[in-house]
Amino acid sequence: MTAKPASPQPARAVLLVARREFRTRVRTRSFVIGTAVMILLLAGLVLMQSLLFGRANHSTVGLVGQATALSAPLRDTARSLGRDVEVRDVVDPRAGTEQVRAGELDALVTGAPDALHVTAKGELDGTLRAALVTLVQQQVLDAQFAEAGLDPKQVQQNVAAAGVAVTSLEPVDPQRDQRLALGFVTAFVLYFSLIFFGSAVAQGVVEEKASRVVEILLATVRPWQLLLGKVLGLGAVGLLQLLVIGVAGLGLVEVTHVLPVPGAALGALGAGVLWYLLGFFLYATVFAAAGSLVSRQEEVQGVLTPVTLVIAVAFVVGVNLLVRDPTNTTTAVLSVLPPFAPVLMPGRMAIGAAPTWQVLLAVLLALAAVALLTWLGGRVYAGAVLRTGTRVKLREALR
């Protein structure tokens, strides 16, 4: 009578399965290509962010004839309004008009300083319009003061000394838009990782079930050891990819200076790692349990749709809430609930809108949900992984 091979120690069995999954997945072409594509997408987002912010605060203006006397005042006035203006002297008004039409100039200014005419391709930027209007009004006022025998410079000093005192109840973050973009990128990367590697867990379960490899594996390890090993192995693969993408993102931020606060990017990476681990363990066993209910790859999408739909809804709702108001009550409540926390909370943390107590509460609730879903998913997996043929019903698997 042939003796049954001895089962390895539980921890060693889990480690062996995890190592097998990690080595197998890291060496695949899909992992390398997927990581490269994500880095390229991230680079595109960072560069687009840099170009958009740079373009949003910059204008190129051509000055013709008498308007050239306003070169320095225009730059100073626009700078005081928060806009960077590059001034170019244009000799021929027709050539300047063509440059506006071609997009080389944002505006062409002609006429006397107190009666300017502006040519723009479309709608003139509001800040640039305000700067030009201020200059024209100043020229008219100076002329009126001179006629009245007043010193224009003294009047300007008196006007500049007048003002209002403003008290801000909340501190103003000058990098809010950049932090918001960082939160969006973090949410997107986590959404992609959860969907991709969660589906990989389910597909791996179906492949082993369809090829009967799982029957050989379960001859030496227990179902919970096999499930935990797969989750740990694929989780390590996802974590490796996330770190590679995060380090690449930090390098891009450093090169492009799209985020003036490098610590914010580093903090976003740390939050992303934390919530990737929590989110992956929250959903991975559910993906594995769903995959164990079917025996063919053609049926995988059907059982995974409810799980992926939950993650997709969390991503869409989370991004909309981050854009509208990351500090309101609805956003705060959803960000601590386990289904939404892995996508929404790291975005709020990147923006700086999540208090410490909310982050800790979200982590505790996520850990509790991980424990519950791991136990429930383990029962479903153990009850369905050896049953081939037709799709196994959830009730039957739980029995």
pLDDT digits (tens, 9 = 90+) for 165-206: 665 555 655 556 666 666 677 777 778 778 888 888 888 777
| Per-residue confidence band for 235, with pLDDT thresholds at 50, 70 and 90 | confident
- How much of the chain, in percent, has pLDDT values that exceed 90? 2
Neighbours of 3 (CB within 10 A): 5
Measured CA distances, 75 to 60, 62, 68, 141 (Å): 10, 12, 12, 20
CA–CA separation, 126 and 124 (whole Å): 6
67: tokens are 């308007």
pLDDT digits (tens, 9 = 90+) for 40-77: 877 776 666 655 555 556 778 888 877 777 777 778 77
Name the more confident of 232 and 382: 232
Q: Encode burial over 92-111: b for 16+ CB neighbours within 10 A, e otherwise.
A: eeeebbebbeeeebbbbbbe
Q: Strands across the sheet with 115-119, in order?
A: 84-89, 58-63, 107-112, 115-119
Residues 6+ apart with CB under 8 A from 343: 187, 190, 191, 194, 275, 279, 311, 314, 315, 318
CA–CA separation, 253 and 185 (whole Å): 12
What element of type H or E holds 84? strand 84-89
* Residue 110 dihedral angles phi and psi, to the nearest 5°: -130, 170
Which domains are present in the chain?
A: 10-52+176-398 (no CATH), 58-153 (3.40.190.10)
What element of type H or E holds 107? strand 107-112
| Per-residue confidence band for 1, with pLDDT thresholds at 50, 70 and 90 | very low
pLDDT greater than 80 at residue 208: no
pLDDT greater than 50 at residue 105: yes
Average pLDDT over residues 236-251: 81
Q: Encode burial over 345-379: b for 16+ CB neighbours within 10 A, e otherwise.
A: bbbbbbbbbbeeebbebbbeebeebbeebbeebbb
What is the separation, in whole angstroms, between the first and last Cα of the chain?
33
pLDDT digits (tens, 9 = 90+) for 339-385: 888 878 887 887 777 888 999 999 999 999 888 888 887 777 777 77
- How much of the chain, in percent, has pLDDT values that exceed 70? 80
